[in-house]
């Protein structure tokens, strides 16, 4: 599958050495169809359709791919799907939220021990020796998690060991986003036409050379007009 579209340019990921495309490929729909907030039901694509999607994204110049343990089977599917092309992708995964494929429930664990186990499991699932970006998947208690749980310390240790290249947090509050930007390399924040409350976090990142990733840019599909 090829495209005649001009490939997207890449930009530096904050103050890190990573270079990423301005658009990324989210992969929750590769592994999870329960407990999601999209406006319409969907069917998880088979391996051929998933491989075609990844090939198209790469052809368009997208090199940032986002996954998480909370995305069901996304990580374990991406491992084989990205075989032979690891160097072409900047992989972002997460720690903290666990999803049960059987009953559709999530639970959270931000301890240092679980964070370490989660990273080692992600490395195995993704069939890679390192993960480019790992974010704490917040449950909404951004500041408490950063200040009182062990996840951030564990991420810092894994970064020192070379298992991770950049660390950060997927936040849900402005104060938590600001603190995450101060303490780490990157923050993932919600931002779209209907939700701009977290723009102070983006402003902080721009001023201080920190990376910012936008999530829910189309409101999980709810902001797309139906014709």
Assigned domain for 7 exists:
no
pLDDT band at residue 3 under the 50/70/90 scheme: low
128: phi then psi, degrees, rounded to nearest 5 = -140, 160
Domain that holds residue 58: 12-221
Q: What CATH number has the domain bearing residue 56? A: 3.20.20.100
pLDDT tens digits for range 109-157: 999 999 999 999 999 999 999 999 999 999 999 999 999 999 999 999 9
Concerning whether 38 is annotated as a catalytic residue, the answer is no
Q: Would the pLDDT of 1 be above 60?
A: no
98: three-class secondary structure by DSSP:
strand
Q: Tokens 């101060």 identify what position?
A: 182
Assigned domain for 100 exists:
yes
CB atoms within 10 A of CB 135: 26
Q: Facing residues of 108 across strands?
A: 97
pLDDT band at residue 227 under the 50/70/90 scheme: very low
Q: Which residue has the higher pLDDT, 32 or 104?
A: 32
Prediction pTM value? 0.94
Spatial contact of 64 and 20, defined as CB atoms under 8 Å apart: yes
Assigned domain for 170 exists:
yes
Assigned domain for 227 exists:
no
Assigned domain for 216 exists:
yes
Burial, 102: exposed, middle or buried (Cβ in 10 Å; 0-12, 13-18, 19+)? exposed
Assigned domain for 62 exists:
yes
pLDDT band at residue 4 under the 50/70/90 scheme: low
CB atoms within 10 A of CB 5: 10
Q: Would the pLDDT of 222 be above 90?
A: no
Number of domains present in the structure of the chain:
1
One of 71, 130, 144, 191 is an active-site residue; which one? 71
Joined together, the tokens standing for residue 116 give: 């370490």
CB atoms within 10 A of CB 9: 9
Q: Facing residues of 168 across strands?
A: 135, 186
Whose CA is closest to 216, among 2, 28, 19, 11?
Answer: 28
The whole-number pLDDT of residue 2 equals 53
Q: Tokens 């240790």 identify what position?
A: 157
């Amino acid at each position: 599958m090829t495209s005649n579209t001009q490939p997207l340019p890449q930009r530096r990921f904050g103050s890190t050495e990573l270079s990423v495309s301005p658009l990324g490929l989210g992969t929750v729909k590769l592994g999870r169809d329960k407990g999601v907030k999209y406006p319409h039901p969907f069917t998880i694509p088979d391996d051929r359709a998933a491989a075609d999607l990844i090939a198209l994204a790469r052809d368009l110049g997208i090199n940032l791919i986002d996954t998480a343990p909370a995305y069901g089977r996304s990580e374990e599917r991406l491992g084989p799907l990205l075989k032979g092309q690891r160097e072409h992708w900047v992989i972002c995964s997460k720690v903290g939220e666990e999803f049960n494929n059987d009953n559709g429930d999530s639970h959270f664990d931000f301890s240092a021990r679980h964070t370490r186990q989660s990273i080692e499991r992600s490395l195995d699932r993704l069939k890679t020796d390192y993960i480019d970006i790992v974010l704490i998947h917040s449950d909404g208690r951004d500041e408490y998690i950063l200040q009182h749980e062990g996840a951030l310390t564990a991420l810092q240790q894994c970064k020192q060991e070379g298992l991770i290249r950049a660390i950060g947090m997927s936040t849900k509050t402005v104060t938590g986003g600001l603190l995450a930007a101060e303490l780490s390399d990157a923050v993932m924040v919600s931002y779209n036409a209907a939700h701009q409350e977290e723009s102070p976090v983006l402003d902080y990142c721009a001023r201080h050379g920190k990376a910012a990733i936008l999530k829910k840019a189309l409101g999980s599909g709810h902001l797309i007009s139906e014709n």
